[in-house]
Amino acid sequence: MTIAAAFCFDGGILLCADSQLTYGGVCKTKGQKVLSYDLHPTPVKIGFALAGDVHRAKHGIMHIARTVDALGTAATGSTVIDAIREAQQEAYQRVFKHPRFLRGDGPDYSLLICLWIESEGPGLFVTNEDVVTPVDDFDCKGSGYYLFRYLLQSMYKPDLSLQKIVVLAAHAFDEIKTYDPQVGFNSEFLVFRKEVQEFSHIAGYDIGHVENFGRLLQRSMYQLLFVMADLTESDEAIARARQLFQDNLTNLRQRYDEDKRHRNAIITLLRYLQEPGPKTIHLKFNAPGRK
Residue 12 to residue 162: CA distance in whole angstroms: 9
More confident residue, 90 or 218: 90
Q: Provide the whole-model pTM.
A: 0.78
> So what's the pLDDT on residue 289?
38
> So what's the pLDDT on residue 84?
97
- Between the CA atoms of 172, 173, 176 and 177, what dihedral angle is there, to the nearest 10 degrees? -150
Residue 185 to residue 263: CA distance in whole angstroms: 21
CB 49 within 8 Å of CB 33 = yes
Q: Which residue blocks in the chain are alpha helix, DSSP H? A: 54-69, 77-91, 93-96, 145-152, 162-179, 208-229, 235-258, 260-274
> So what's the pLDDT on residue 239?
87
Question: What's the Cα-to-Cα distance from 73 to each of 83, 119, 122, rounded to whole Å?
Answer: 14, 11, 18
Q: What does the pLDDT look like over 93-124, one tens digit per residue?
A: 988 888 877 777 778 899 999 999 988 889 99
Q: What does the pLDDT look like over 201-215, one tens digit per residue?
A: 888 766 555 555 656
Please state, for a pLDDT cut of 90, what percent of the chain lies above it.
34
> So what's the pLDDT on residue 182?
57
> So what's the pLDDT on residue 242?
84
DSSP character string of 181-202: TT--S-EEEEEEETTTTEEB-E
Other C-beta atoms closer than 10 Å to the C-beta of 276 total: 14
CB 48 within 8 Å of CB 113 = yes
Amino acid at 282: H
3-state helix, strand, coil in the chain (%, to 5): 45, 30, 25
- Over residues 50-57, the mean pLDDT reads 90
> So what's the pLDDT on residue 13?
96
